[in-house]
């Protein structure tokens, strides 16, 4: 009887260990679904720790979502999805569980294909976010993962707290807030608000930029480099609390102050002046260069 009990305990221990190991193994069969669209598409997407890669299928009339479980098991997650008219809501959520991963485990990847005309809200907690080619109202949130956005147009808002930011060839307006990671941004803008709190900023306003309202660039811990079209007409207001200011544009000065107590300040008109463009940093140098 004692031997039987020992064997039962050993079998149970082996089963628990096997279950913990299997916790990180991939599940059979990816998940995918297509949603038919008749008008302008809109999508709300939340994927937790999974990465997202969203692109367009041009003038197609459907949103297609594909989940590759990679090193995880489908039973570890819950998918909540529904469609209301031309709006699709998709949520990938990890279940509460006990266990541990052995080795490097790849989290699921969500691949999305949509019409070019799209209003998008996308959120990841701990995964890379990539968006390419869409046109519309775009709102992106990520708390721990790189962001890569390219060839988008419309009104874009980005909030990112830990990861590098790469935004390329944006057309329209941009409101970007990032807190830990280098940001590289270029586009043809009508207005922009860009804030970085712990990382450098490299910002290019491409030829064709026509700012029509006050725009502001802020950095709190890192250098800021801004490149502007040679013909852009703006009223510059530049300030750095702890760093230098370098401006390679001809500026009609309306104010300059480099006293120790106030940091460095430069105000003036470029190409006769225009809408205000403010560039403020609290700990880092500012460089303003022509394209």
Q: Nearest to residue 77, comparing CAs of 43, 44, 49, 112?
A: 49
Top-confidence residue, 133 or 284: 133
Supply the pLDDT for residue 254: 75
CA distances in angstroms from 237 to 127, 218, 240, listed in the order given: 37, 12, 10
Query: Band of the pLDDT at 116, cuts 50, 70, 90?
Result: very high
Query: Band of the pLDDT at 108, cuts 50, 70, 90?
Result: very high
The total number of residues written for the chain in this structure:
291
Q: Look-up: residue for tokens 């022509």?
A: 290
Q: What is the DSSP secondary structure assignment for residue 117, as one 8-state letter?
A: B
Q: Nearest to residue 34, comparing CAs of 133, 115, 141?
A: 115
Q: Look-up: residue for tokens 């390329």?
A: 168
Tell me the three state secondary structure of residue 268: strand
Return d(Cα 6, Cα 19) in angstroms, integer. Answer: 20
Query: Band of the pLDDT at 284, cuts 50, 70, 90?
Result: confident
**Six token digits for residue 3:** 């031997």
Q: Which residues pair with 75 in a beta bridge?
A: none
**Six token digits for residue 256:** 């300059």
Query: Band of the pLDDT at 269, cuts 50, 70, 90?
Result: very high
The yes-or-no verdict on residue 243 having pLDDT over 60 is: yes
pLDDT averaged over every residue in the chain: 87
- Of 98-102, 208-212, 250-254, the poorest mean pLDDT is in 98-102
Return d(Cα 251, Cα 278) in angstroms, integer. Answer: 14
The yes-or-no verdict on residue 102 having pLDDT over 60 is: no
Residues contacting 235, CB < 8 A, separation 6+: 267, 268, 269, 270, 273, 274, 275, 276, 277
Tell me the three state secondary structure of residue 247: strand
User: Judging by beta carbons within 10 Å of its beta carbon (0-12, 13-18, 19+), is residue 72 exposed, middle or buried?
Assistant: buried
Return d(Cα 231, Cα 271) in angstroms, integer. Answer: 7
Top-confidence residue, 195 or 22: 195
Query: Band of the pLDDT at 199, cuts 50, 70, 90?
Result: confident
């Amino acid at each position: 009887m004692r031997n039987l009990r020992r064997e039962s305990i050993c079998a149970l221990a082996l089963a628990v260990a096997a279950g913990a190991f299997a916790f990180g193994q991939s599940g059979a069969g990816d998940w995918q679904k297509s949603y038919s669209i008749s008008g302008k598409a809109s999508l709300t997407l939340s994927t937790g720790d999974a990465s997202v890669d969203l692109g367009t299928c041009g003038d197609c009339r459907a949103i297609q979502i594909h989940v590759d479980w990679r090193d995880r098991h489908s039973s570890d997650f819950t998918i909540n999805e529904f469609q209301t008219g031309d709006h699709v809501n998709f949520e990938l959520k990890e279940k509460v569980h006990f266990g541990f991963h052995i080795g490097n485990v790849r989290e699921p990847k969500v691949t999305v294909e949509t019409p070019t005309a799209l209003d998008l809200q996308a959120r990841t907690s701990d995964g890379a976010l990539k968006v390419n080619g869409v046109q519309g109202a775009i709102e992106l949130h990520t708390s721990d993962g790189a962001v890569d956005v390219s060839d988008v147009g419309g009104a874009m808002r980005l909030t990112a707290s830990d990861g590098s930011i790469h935004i390329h060839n944006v057309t329209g307006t941009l409101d970007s807030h990032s807190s830990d990671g280098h940001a590289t941004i270029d586009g043809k803008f009508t207005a922009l608000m860009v804030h970085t709190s712990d990382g450098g900023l490299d910002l290019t306003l491409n030829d064709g930029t026509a700012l029509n309202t006050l725009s502001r660039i802020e950095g709190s811990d890192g250098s800021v480099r801004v490149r502007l079209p040679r013909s852009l007409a703006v009223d510059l207001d530049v300030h750095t609390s702890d760093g230098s200011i370098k401006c390679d544009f001809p500026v009609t000065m309306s104010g300059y102050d480099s006293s120790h107590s106030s940091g460095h300040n430069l105000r003036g008109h470029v190409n006769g002046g225009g809408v205000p463009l403010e560039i403020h940093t609290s700990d880092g140098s500012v460089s303003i260069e022509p394209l």
